[in-house]
Amino acid sequence: MRIEVLVDVKTILGEGPLWDVEEQRLYWIDSFGCNVFRATVDGCEVRAWDVPAKIGSMALRKQGGAVLSLQTGFHFLDFETGETRLIVDPEPDKPTTRLNDGKVDRRGRFVAGSMDMMEAGPNGALYRLDADLSLHKLDDGIIVSNGPCWSPDGTVFYFADTWSGEIWAYDYDQDTGSVSNRRTFAKVDRSGGGAADGSTVDAEGYLWNALVYDGKIVRYAPDGSVDRVIDMPVKKVTSVMFGGPDLDILFVTSMAKPPLPRFPGDGRQRGSLFAVHGLGVRGVPEPRFAG
């Protein structure tokens, strides 16, 4: 196994690595820097787009451009012009929340949750944006929405409320996009001060999660047991995704500055985008938003 710094752009709050098989490009975001980034697999040809508010996640669209979860709601991003367009704001009456982590299901729907910006109260919710741009609430009572992803067959949805100490699993109806039967998938080891952040699922059905503030990447077996732990060069790792031509490189984002004073600082490589090679595991292609 080899860990390298792929791109050192010192993202304030780097998040959401997204490998697109069609373009063979890696996207990621700076939530607090209000940027979307793109690069080649070797970290070259770096492009950046500014967005008008804090960004929690993004996904590419089948018809071009991207769908974003911003503090001010779901938006489209036009890569050619750099312009954003509001789709819907699910929480206009909640000034203390913003949209956070999100991904696209196997049928092209965008699922993203909101979070309490002080990371204190259960004021967030989980939403599904369908291809017809209709919005549906899937769950609520969430402090910080993180780590949405699906089993390879799309029938199990994984999700974490970061400060709950758990990663949850739901039954996922692919025909309707509804969730049911929420249960504890895994208990998160928080003895090192860490908490569950971004996740992805590999081709074997194992879940990989970034243990933010503890500097670890944890691989969980389908039964929720810990299969492998990787120690990263920085403590504030935030999210993970497999990519590269063979989908066998694990890309890991990190933050340069913690969002709140109570969280720890980090070393010289803080805010870097990392690439982990030689894991012997492949990921699954990420779908594009159908809307």
Which candidate, 245, 223, 256, places its Cα nearest to that of 19? 245
Which secondary structure element, helix H or strand E, spans residue 20, and what is its range?
A: strand 14-20
CA angle in degrees (0–180, nearest 5) for 151-155-160: 60
Sequence-distant (≥ 6) Cβ neighbours of residue 194 within 8 angstroms = 188, 211, 212, 213, 214, 215, 216
The number of beta carbons lying within 10 Å of the beta carbon of residue 22 is 9
Q: Are strands 66-70 and 73-77 parallel, antiparallel or unpaired?
A: antiparallel
Cross-strand bridge partners of residue 149:
158
Catalytic position from the list 105, 197, 202, 266: 197
Query: Could you tell me the strand order of the sheet in which 25-30 lies?
Result: 14-20, 25-30, 35-39, 47-50
Told to judge if 197 belongs to the known catalytic residues of this protein, a careful annotator would answer yes
Give the residue numbers marked as catalytic. Answer: 197
